[in-house]
Chain A
Amino acid sequence: MAAGAVSAALRARQRETAEDRRLYVELGFAPVTCQHCGVEALVKKNSHKHTSVQWTAAGVASCLEINAARAADPKGFVLGCPRMSASIEEAVRDGAVVVPDA
């Protein structure tokens, strides 16, 4: 009976952890469409200087900037897409992406 209680508590804790994971990974993201190539990504901003961008595999595959950077330097590290960044800035100005405490 004690073992059952322990495993019930463990299951409850694992459920809460899974919920935490879901909140940190999904909560507060809004879709932004790149004005340049039409790729959509999910974006979250905790402040003006913070940006979180969740791409899809298909989105990266059709991003012209990332593909161009990789074609130019296949081994190079691509920090981001400047056109997506510009589109995010615009989405912030339009209010499509909300910046808390702004």
Chain B
Amino acid sequence: MTQAIKQPGESSVRTIDSGVLPERYARGWHCLGLVDQFKDGKPHAIQAFGSKLVVFQGGDDGKLAVLDAYCRHMGGDLTQGTIKDGNAACPFHDWRWSPEGRCVGIPYAKRVPLRARTRAWTTMERNGMLFVWNDPEGNPPIPEQDVPVIESVGSEDWSDWIWTTLEVNGSNCREIIDNVSDMAHFYYVHFAFPTYFKNVFEGHVATQFMESRGRADIGKGGQYAGEDNLLKSEASYFGPSYMINWLWNDFRGTSVESILVNCHYPIDQNNFMLQYGVMVKKLPGVDRDMANTIAGKFARSFKAGFEQDVAIWQNKTRIDNPLLCEEDGPVYQLRRWYEQFYVDIADVNEDMTARFEFEIDTSHAIESWEKEVAENLRRRAEEQAAAEAEQAGVS
């Protein structure tokens, strides 16, 4: 590749390689939402993996089932039908589909045809959420990639999940994965000063460990802003789409422990559904309702943060060849880790999964950002003084 190396003094314009969208969807568990939202005896539609799924409560065990939404008879949409005896009934000709994906009855027919099977997705209910296993090769779930149990779910000491969904259009879900390694965007997009930032990628887990304080020039603007807001955050993707983020906020001597689940499923290669749940640990003397109110406030501030991300994604271009400076995080190694979910299991190699650690030097960034914040505060004070003087002159 010597031809790519330029002679000293010779510069060439760098071009963006926007790459091509993946041809498959990631192998792994994908959370479709809170279990409760699907358990009302009705069929529910989910646009995911370039197709449409029907989610319903089947059989005697009350467990949720997920099938391809389109009836194999004449293509009717099962999400528009009803649930009869724990089976999905097609609105077109009343063919009944069991939670396992077998046609178990056609009221107007003597016999169900052979081969009357549709795709049933492997499901799991955990942490109060419904998951489906996606694998383009059709293999069963990988036990080592099981979704961790969050002990706080259902605990007396914690609030309920406050759940929010946000459909992101015009972007592949790789954009949200990139955030794991993106130290500087926390300042520009989420108004925080990361003071310590480290990534660790290993196996199917990618972690971002961060300590930050809020920007003094921005009081309200999300979960991270405000000078008095000290935050410790440990966020890990377990597989391609399910992140658990343990957060410890310290605000003027009061510590609040919270958990954010940040997950998504691809609608297709250019759209994804972002979903996140927030729960907070109850402070002494706080009841469940109050804890839920606090969690709601947290959720709203995360919403502001995610909306700031979405505004960037919807206007940016896909870029396969980011140009990095030394204060940037390891986006190439992160994408190498992410690649393991997009190749056949036989092609997953040690490069993708071996432990990689990257600790960012935040010292120069902090120095420069402190100057910028001080300048913003000075200018604001000046403008305020000028406005007051003008007002005094008028009156």
- Residues on A close to B: CB < 8 A? 13-17, 19-21, 24-25, 46-57, 59-60, 75, 77-80
Q: Do A46 and B326 contact each other (CB < 8 Å), given the known contacts A16-B4, A19-B1, A19-B4?
A: yes
Which of the residues A49, A52, A75 comes within 8 Å of B358, measured between beta carbons? A52
Q: How far is the CA of A15 from the CA of B356 in the complex (A)?
A: 25
Q: Do A54 and B354 contact each other (CB < 8 Å), given the known contacts A24-B324, A25-B333, A77-B209?
A: yes
B24 contacts A by Cβ under 8 Å: no
Within 8 A of A (CB), among B291-343: 320-321, 324, 326, 330, 332-333, 336
- Residues on B close to A: CB < 8 A? 1, 4, 15, 17, 19, 148, 198, 200, 202, 207, 209, 234, 236, 320-321, 324, 326, 330, 332-333, 336, 350, 353-363
Verify A57–B354 contact, CB threshold 8 A. Answer: yes
Which of the residues B17, B200, B326, B354 comes within 8 Å of A47, measured between beta carbons? B326
Kindly provide the distance from the CB of A7 to the nearest chain B CB, expressed in whole angstroms.
Answer: 12
Q: How far is the CA of A19 from the CA of B1 in the complex (A)?
A: 7
Verify A25–B332 contact, CB threshold 8 A. Answer: yes
Q: How far is the CA of A16 from the CA of B362 in the complex (A)?
A: 30
- A17-B321, A77-B209 given; name 20 further pairs at CB < 8 Å: A13-B17, A15-B1, A16-B17, A17-B320, A25-B332, A47-B361, A48-B361, A49-B362, A50-B326, A51-B357, A52-B330, A52-B357, A53-B358, A54-B356, A56-B354, A57-B355, A77-B207, A77-B236, A80-B200, A80-B359
Verify A60–B355 contact, CB threshold 8 A. Answer: yes
Q: How far is the CA of A54 from the CA of B15 in the complex (A)?
A: 29
The prevalent SS among residues of B at the interface is mixed
Which of the residues A15, A19, A50, A60 comes within 8 Å of B361, measured between beta carbons? A50
Verify A21–B332 contact, CB threshold 8 A. Answer: yes
Measured CB to CB, the nearest residue on chain B to A63 is: B355
Q: How far is the CA of A54 from the CA of B320 in the complex (A)?
A: 22
Q: Do A77 and B200 contact each other (CB < 8 Å), given the known contacts A17-B321, A20-B321, A24-B324?
A: yes
Kindly provide the distance from the CB of A18 to the nearest chain B CB, expressed in whole angstroms.
Answer: 9
Kindly provide the distance from the CB of B308 to the nearest chain A CB, expressed in whole angstroms.
Answer: 26
Residues of chain A with a CB closer than 8 A to B357's CB: 51-53, 55, 80
Residues of chain B with a CB closer than 8 A to A50's CB: 326, 359-361
Residues of chain A with a CB closer than 8 A to B209's CB: 77, 79
Q: How far is the CA of A54 from the CA of B333 in the complex (A)?
A: 10
Residues of chain B with a CB closer than 8 A to A48's CB: 361
Residues of chain A with a CB closer than 8 A to B200's CB: 77-80
Verify B332–A24 contact, CB threshold 8 A. Answer: yes
Residues of chain A with a CB closer than 8 A to B17's CB: 13-14, 16-17
Which of the residues B19, B236, B324, B360 comes within 8 Å of A17, measured between beta carbons? B19
Q: How far is the CA of A7 from the CA of B37 in the complex (A)?
A: 48
Residues of chain B with a CB closer than 8 A to A60's CB: 202, 354-355
Q: How far is the CA of A53 from the CA of B350 in the complex (A)?
A: 15
Q: How far is the CA of A57 from the CA of B1 in the complex (A)?
A: 29
Q: How far is the CA of A86 from the CA of B198 in the complex (A)?
A: 17
Q: Do A56 and B356 contact each other (CB < 8 Å), given the known contacts A16-B321, A50-B326?
A: no
Kindly provide the distance from the CB of B356 to the nearest chain A CB, expressed in whole angstroms.
Answer: 5
Measured CB to CB, the nearest residue on chain A to B18 is: A13
Measured CB to CB, the nearest residue on chain B to A44 is: B358
Residues of chain B with a CB closer than 8 A to A21's CB: 321, 332, 336
